[in-house]
Structure 1
């Protein structure tokens, strides 16, 4: 079997499927789990580990050495492919499988915002103002919104990919000519 020139393609599919799997499990557990902050952190951590595998695979193919640019390509590709797969899944979930999930997301966000604002001792009038603005927000999912969310995700993941690439890069030791 021939190795792909960019392992990010394979790892991107693995990442997208892994995130869908985690989403399905948390969806079954209920909105309080699906929309929890720790679920977001867990999914981000899983996605980062998968992207690191893509970079390390290229590094191994090149004998343990990799430049920043060579590392960035498979890592960022992993994030692009995985995010695209997850975006399509979430569009289908919110638009066709469970359209009422949008209301659960809004309710959960209002509840958690109020809780956090109370925790940070915000004045009640500020809490009411924030909750009022938030309740007016349209949370419905459409093609345009999904695409914009995808682009925002890609910008965020480019920064993560750059950091990972800086960490795993390794230049060969240059020996002076004698």
Structure 2
């Protein structure tokens, strides 16, 4: 018989792998649709809805495997592991895509991002000197380096930890303390 901890890790790893593959496929679809689609905020946000749904399914699966009960800690472990693994796979894929497979796409993304920043600053009525300074700083930064990618992954792990806490609090169900006391 497997212990709940081993099962929780297995469920988290399985659903993390499923989530990572789903995120990679979704990213590939956006990439193949073109730069405007890839950079569309609403469509990009949808990938987070997908991984949250998969993480919830992982928690529910773990709960079923535990006979309908799941401690907060076990729920948190399963859901967070799902997020961490899925986003790690997605992050590595994006890094390879933008730094080795299609650097031209990355450069076009940088150009479009600069245009959007400039347009936004102009709409806000920022002084020309501030716009030029912001454009110069943004243009010189390498937002696709390994260190920036790793930093982004770390920040997302913090956000996913918070989301995992919320999900775990919702799906947990403690076993009653006297569940078997009167059945003997």
TM-score by length of 2: 0.82
Q: Structure 1: how far apart are the matches of 2:155 and 2:64? A: 31
Is 2:61 the partner of 1:61?
no
The aligned residue for residue 172 of structure 2 is 169
1:154 to 154, 157, 162: 157
Deviation for aligned residue 1:133 = 2.2
What whole-Å deviation, never above 9, does each CA across 1:61-89 have from its counterpart, x for those lacking one?
22322221110111011011111211221
Unpaired runs of at least 5, structure 2? none
Which structure has the larger Rg over C-alpha atoms? 2
Q: Which residue does 1:114 correspond to in 2?
A: 118
TM-score (norm: length of structure 1): 0.85
From the superposition, tell whether residues 45 and 123 of structure 1 become closer, same or farther in structure 2 (CA, over 3 Å): same
Structure 1: tracts of 5 or more residues without a match:
none
Q: CA RMSD in A?
A: 2.6
How far apart are 1:35 and its partner, in Å?
1.7
Q: CA deviation at 1:114?
A: 2.8
Paired residues of 2:80 and 2:164 also in contact (CA < 8 A): yes
- Stretch of structure 1 that moved more, 98-107 or 16-25: 98-107
